[in-house]
Chains A and B, each alone.
Chain A
């Protein structure tokens, strides 16, 4: 008995030593195998992002990863070319704007849904009318007045008022065209799963993975990869390891602290694209002294974008001084003030706060926002403003920020720029905007926004938005900080992941070559 237990403890000790030993031995030698010569696409690609696919209920989700999946399973009437920012044909082969409120579409013929039913104009009408029935999607089509079918492959859409963003808006994957026949034949639950896209649903194990398989009949040609698996791994370190072991072909959002190591690792590829969202600081104009323009300007002078980009994102972001996202077609370069502590103090004194004051800064639970706030805290300390920082849990943050009570400044991100210029600006700074956390109400601003949406001529319209962007800088109720990068890490055999359209990832053309 005694002997046995001694043996046991000796073994335990030895195992511990071996484990520690192996952990600390470097295995660099194992990495980097020679690249394969004959390039055949792998049958299946496995990838992972930070968030889970949430629902197959197309009309009903704000989840960007979910929308990205829809982009592969369905088509919208028209789509956007990410490179040129132009609207391009999809299920609609061509279109004309007959008047500012009238669009005519000619539809693609011979397209089949995954269940085999034919795509016709009735499906478009069915889809849009269905979207209007749902609270969560009807605001997107708020300007839609009627849809008139002209045979199976032509239709006319009439708007209530001019909306030059209409074509952009209908590229949103939640407006993917669904099959009327499939709904009738298969019922709602199965019916909604039938798209026209290059991939079709295979299996969804909620919380685990979603499998898609190639649609051999795809009108745009069969995709190169037979199967896609979107695996849910919420932990960024685990995700990164999974791509290192080769279990994953690519992942999104590795831990930022690992970026340098990833770059150095010859068996991995690091790819970055500007993300869809702008990091913002709101001045709550309902809460004195933030109603004082001098105070806001003073704070603007005190802040420094580059420090945040370096400190929070380790350089993996682009400074953005404009409330418009730099990838939007209506973004213009504008002037803004640079950090100037003396100027800031001067303005504060002018406003009657020579000795500074205390303010409350809130944020949501995103680690980025929290890190931003710490830097803002330090920068404002320079001019004598004491920042009381309260990070809030996401749902709480939305409620508090909407109420406009109990905070002076708010740090969060906004990503509504993917579907034309209007939505991004409107929700942010229009008096009734859903994300107007500055609680800013300015008739001039509202008028400028309402006018800009109706301008037909593109260059005129760009000028109108430039004016809005500059006016926003003037009134300084929202301080744009930067655009963070999306980061992808893949094995070297994976072809570059295509640039996303705003927050919508493009998984249609993923290819990885096996040796």
Chain B
């Protein structure tokens, strides 16, 4: 297991280098640079030119990239032009809120998706199946912007139960997490349903029933546990996406997550910060995927056996 983790971490390095280069390249392709974007008309063309020269913006892409990566290996991810703070510090400052939202979001998604998916699978092609499918699709197709605002109007404005913005205050996580969760639930529900359909046809489910095991136990212990791998995979992917930021939800609820930071940074062509955000998000997601792999091993002993080799 340890060797497996070390292998994964080492594998991360080339991935991060590739990601950083691609991002560097793409941000470079976009017209405009941070000096124009941040200072707009505040500065004369000459002053901006001097700044560019000073900041090395006029060097070729490769030179700038090499310099950047060199610094990163020295532990310096550069300064944001927009905020005049170290990119790493800005990012790390946002990580807790993002993690909180991503995990609660996926938690809610799973709480909605697993029972609905299981029920759909058990009652395949019945009214209940159709109803949960419709509910799921509704959740997926509902724009999170609209759903978020609707909830704010209901729970903050009309009922006064929850704070309408920010990540302070009691219950502030509830609405953002619900918005994220409901959006993710549909896919997870479909995954649960198809995975369960596959599993409940298996012989070992029949064996369990033949032993006289209660139906609920058959479904939630014998079947669900086997159906979990694809569900975890899908949930992991969703979680990974949420770690990159849920920009719309972050905007609607003024949630200080990395998504908004990344977008703000991109709009300001703050290359250092954009690349920093994306590298760190990639690293974070990779660590997460590693955890997911470890969870696999706990769920399925066959996978565990494979790791220890």
Contact = CB atoms under 8 A, between A and B. Distances in A.
A393 B115 CA distance: 44
Given A54-B83, A247-B164, A395-B33, A62 B39 contact: yes
Interface stretch (A5-13, A144-152, A353-361): A5-13
A6 B122 CA distance: 12
B119 A395 contact: no
A136 B47 contact: yes
Contact of B40 (A62, A207, A393): A62
A5 B31 contact: no
Given A54-B82, A55-B83, A395 B253 contact: no
Interface stretch (B2-10, B201-209, B260-268): B260-268
B119 A8 contact: yes
Contact of B31 (A8, A208, A231, A395): A395
A60 B152 CA distance: 37
A264 interface: no
A443 interface: no
Interface string B249-270: 0011110110011001001110
Interface string A385-398: 00000000111111
Given A206-B85, A233-B254, A241-B152, A399 B135 contact: no
Contacts of B32: 393-399
A400 interface: yes
Given A206-B85, A395-B32, A427-B41, A238 B93 contact: no
A99 interface: no
Contacts, number: 163
Interface string B30-61: 11111011111111110110110010000000
Interface string B131-169: 110010000000000000110111011111001111110
Nearest to A12: B135
Contact of A62 (B38, B83, B122, B153): B38
B154 A245 contact: no
Interface stretch (A19-27, A89-97, A301-309, A479-487): A19-27
B304 interface: no
A40 interface: no
Contacts of B41: 398, 414, 416, 427, 434-435
A398 B166 contact: no
A109 interface: no
Contacts of A399: 31-33, 36
- For this complex, into which size category does the number of interface residues on chain A fall? 35 or more
Contacts of B54: 135
B253 A238 contact: yes
Given A205-B93, A238-B254, A241-B164, A396 B123 contact: no
B216 interface: yes
A247 B157 CA distance: 10
Interface string B70-92: 00000000000011110000100
B166 A209 contact: yes
Nearest to B38: A62
A394 B268 CA distance: 8
A9 B36 contact: no
Interface of B: 30-34, 36-45, 47-48, 50-51, 54, 82-85, 90, 93-94, 97, 115, 119, 122-123, 128, 131-132, 135, 149-150, 152-154, 156-160, 163-168, 215-216, 219, 251-254, 256-257, 260-261, 264, 267-269
Given A207-B261, A208-B97, 11 more contacts: A23-B154, A27-B158, A54-B82, A136-B39, A139-B43, A395-B36, A395-B268, A398-B32, A398-B36, A399-B36, A402-B45
